[in-house]
Structure 1
Amino acid sequence: MANVPDEAEDLLTGEPLVAHLATCRDSRPHAAPIWYVYRKGRFEIATTGEKLENIRQNPAVALSIQKDEDGDPQWGMTVRGTADVVTSESERINRRLNEKYGADDDAWEENTGVRIEVGSVDYWTY
């Protein structure tokens, strides 16, 4: 498991930013915006549909996260890792996501929880 740099860890646990999740199935990439929570060296997301099916078929994923101010990039990160569907944790993961992003407690309750173990990290500032 790769370590996320300390200064990047602080940024990941701060304000709610949107990440882009890249999955792959049948040798075709699929990227979509997603909410995330970073905890204890892992990312937690909750998803459904094509993203979830892709993860079940091929757990290799990537996350791309960037912070900008009025269109001026400040920092960015690409994380490659392995996703694990954790159905039994879905309610807790959804609750943490909804709290971070200011959604109603029961929003997105149909989503399934996923944890992403970090394999490698590229982090940069502008």
Structure 2
Amino acid sequence: MASIPPEAEDHLTSELLVAHLATSRDDRPHAAPVWYVYRDGAIEIATTGTKLANIRANPRVALSIQKVEAGDPLWGMTIRGTATVVESESDGINRRLNEKYGADEDAWTENTGVRIDVGSVDHWTYD
């Protein structure tokens, strides 16, 4: 498991941003926006539908996150890793996501928790 560099970790946790999760099934890519929490060196998301089915079939995933102000990119990051479905922890993951993003505590209860162990990270800033 790779670690996220401190500057990238600061960007990852500094504010409310949406990540784009890339999954693949049967050699067909699928990308969709997700809320995320960075916790204990891993990324936590909660999802359902196509994203969850794809993770169950192929746990190799990527996340893309970018900070933009007035159309100008400030920094970006791509995280590649292995996703694990953690149904037993779904309530806790949902609660952490809802708290971070200001949703009702009991929102999105149909989602299933997923932990993404970081395999590699590319992080860049625009000067």
Per the alignment, residue 104 of structure 1 pairs with 104
Counterpart of 1:124 in structure 2 is 124
Q: Does 1:32 align with 2:20?
A: no
Counterpart of 1:92?
92
Per the TM alignment, residue 40 of structure 1 is displaced from its structure 2 partner at its CA by: 1.3
Provide the secondary structure at the position in 1 that maps to 2:51: helix
The alpha carbon displacement at 1:15 in A equals 0.8
Tell me the equivalent position of 1:48: 48
Q: Deviations over 1:36-58 (max 9, x none)?
A: 00011100000000000000000
Residues paired across the two proteins, number? 126
Identity of aligned residues (%): 78
**Where does the alignment leave 5 or more consecutive residues of structure 1 unmatched?**
none
Shift of 1:12: 1.1
Q: Deviations over 1:66-88 (max 9, x none)?
A: 00111110100000000000000
Give the match's secondary structure for 2:16.
coil
Residues in 1 aligned to 2:70 and 2:20: alpha-carbon distance in whole angstroms: 19
Query: Aligned equivalents of 2:64 and 2:44: distance in 1?
Result: 14
Which residue does 2:19 correspond to in 1? 19
CA distance in 1, matches of 2:22, 2:104: 26
> How high is the TM-score relative to the length of structure 2?
0.98
Question: Taking structure 1 as the reference length, what is the TM-score of the superposition?
Answer: 0.98
Give the RMSD, CA atoms, in angstroms.
0.6
Unpaired runs of 5+ in structure 2? none
Distance in structure 2 (CA, Å) of the matches to 1:117 and 1:53 = 18
Write the deviation string for residues 96-122 of structure 1: whole angstroms up to 9, x where unpaired: 000111111011111000000000000
